[in-house]
Chains A and B, each alone.
Chain A
């Protein structure tokens, strides 16, 4: 019998967790663009200015 993860086989579990991770990726992307990258740009501009 195949091992199940959270009651799902490996491929279905990957899809299930993939949905959640993709949503997290969307959130992380926004946080990166809004706070991290902006911060790096501002610091770079200050240093060069």
Chain B
């Protein structure tokens, strides 16, 4: 146990002096989610039920499932910590999360994806691509990419939450990992996407209440919005250095101001904002939610519910993250050594015990909801996209479902093993995940649903160029990953650019050029794909 953990445990033991509530919560959690798993099991009769919840979900469930999948514990704790360093300029990311991640996503991508998905009988993103281009290899390769990176991302989710549980309750990390992986894995395996989405509703509501209470409490304690922001604006970096923040000033103009244009902190903020803000459009686990809606009306209802949900998640996290700095300076709380621990430290020092538990439950729900969704999508990628379509050419029949369940079980087991002893590669794959999915899929996916003339060759080139450009950029150029992967440290602002700024335009241009010069798909096939548009 390091010094920080000892300090935090000491603080926590003042607040959380018994584990009874937590144990009761875990028991209730197991009972409720096992029951949901059982209900899902009873109602999962077909492959469609397993993969896209029968395509019968209403707007409320779709919205909360989308939101709970989108917002993970990393987003709430990690990004509020980032906001404590960079200040409220990170609110631009919250803006993109709502405007791009909900409005643009559902209105311009969701409605079309669902219609074309129904026309083509697609139940996953790789299947949408595979059926649109009559190419099972494209589906298989997409499935492999998704499965590999999702296992790493899910491992990171369990790693984060189990570390937090260890720090707060002193429960051994390994025990937490086993408990939470088994619970999430059990209801995914039992009930498929039906169970996952019903669980998301409960998880989403818990997260919403937790974040709402935290937002109101923090602003109330600081005298309202204006006083809180003025207190934050008056903080200098020297004040923060005094309580142990790093020397490097990441908010040179103050914590309620934008970083000076084209400086290193500005480029870092820019890459955080756009990397996640735009990347959300091409996340396979989120795209799958569009396919679960029972009709267009449900998808439209998901827009306001999703907007309000994300507002209370990311807007709250990025607003209160910097406010933690004010609380820390005012109360003489020392910087905990990592941005990830800023929000938990302030909550445990200053909030009443009931809220510490509520917050922990909310974070736990955020982690579990994302992990369950990732288990499901990764299992579907291997069972449906790789085994059934790419290997068996769609002839696996009933075996497809069995293989998907086995693949999901294998993915849960691999995640468990990796979480218990995480290799370095997990950290790299996780830091790639959001950006890489966007670089790989955004151009082919967008053109698949919008452009009749995109060809099979165009889609392949778009997918591969985006994927490999992003991988090379992360390995050789990007300031966060290149030094530790390849040992290369580039100077200059270009190294701060997320690969997405270049990979996505390149992928779009190449997809279009190759589509214009390669063989078109039969007109009748295209007509079928667009028949509902």
- CB within 8 Å of B: which residues of A? 2, 4, 6-9, 11-12, 15-16, 18-20, 22-23, 25-27, 29-30, 33-34
Contacts and interface: CB of A to CB of B under 8 A. Distances in A.
Contacts of A22: 95, 98-99, 102-103, 307
A33 B257 CA distance: 37
Contact of B103 (A4, A9, A16, A29): A29
Interface string B195-237: 0000000000000000000000000000001111111110000
15 contacts: A8-B229, A9-B254, A12-B88, A12-B256, A16-B319, A19-B94, A22-B307, A23-B304, A23-B308, A26-B98, A26-B102, A26-B308, A29-B107, A30-B303, A34-B300
B95 A9 contact: no
A4 B225 CA distance: 13
A16 to B, nearest CB: 5
Interface of B: 87-89, 91-92, 94-95, 98-99, 102-103, 107, 225-233, 253-254, 256-258, 297, 300-301, 303-304, 306-308, 311, 315, 319
Contacts of B94: 15, 19
A19 B256 contact: no
B374 to A, nearest CB: 25
A35 to B, nearest CB: 11
Contacts of B308: 23, 26-27
Given A20-B311, A23-B98, A30 B301 contact: yes
A16 B323 CA distance: 14
A16 B304 CA distance: 18
A11 B257 CA distance: 7
A16 B311 CA distance: 11
B326 to A, nearest CB: 11
State the main secondary structure of chain B at its contact with A: helix
Most buried by A among B87, B230, B257: B257
Contacts of A12: 87-89, 91, 256-258
Given A20-B311, A25-B99, A30-B301, A9 B107 contact: no
Contacts of B92: 15, 18
A44 to B, nearest CB: 18
Contacts of A11: 89, 257-258
A7 B233 contact: yes
A13 to B, nearest CB: 9
A31 to B, nearest CB: 8
Contacts of A16: 88, 91, 319
B115 to A, nearest CB: 15
B177 to A, nearest CB: 35
Contacts of A26: 98, 102-103, 303-304, 306-308
Given A8-B229, A23-B311, A15 B91 contact: yes
Given A12-B88, A15-B94, A22-B307, 5 more contacts: A4-B230, A7-B233, A8-B229, A23-B308, A26-B306
Most buried by A among B87, B225, B232, B300: B300
Contacts of B258: 9, 11-12
A40 B102 CA distance: 26
A29 B59 CA distance: 14
Given A7-B229, A11-B257, A18-B95, A27 B307 contact: yes
Contacts of A18: 92, 95, 99
Contacts of A2: 253, 257
B306 to A, nearest CB: 7
A8 B99 contact: no
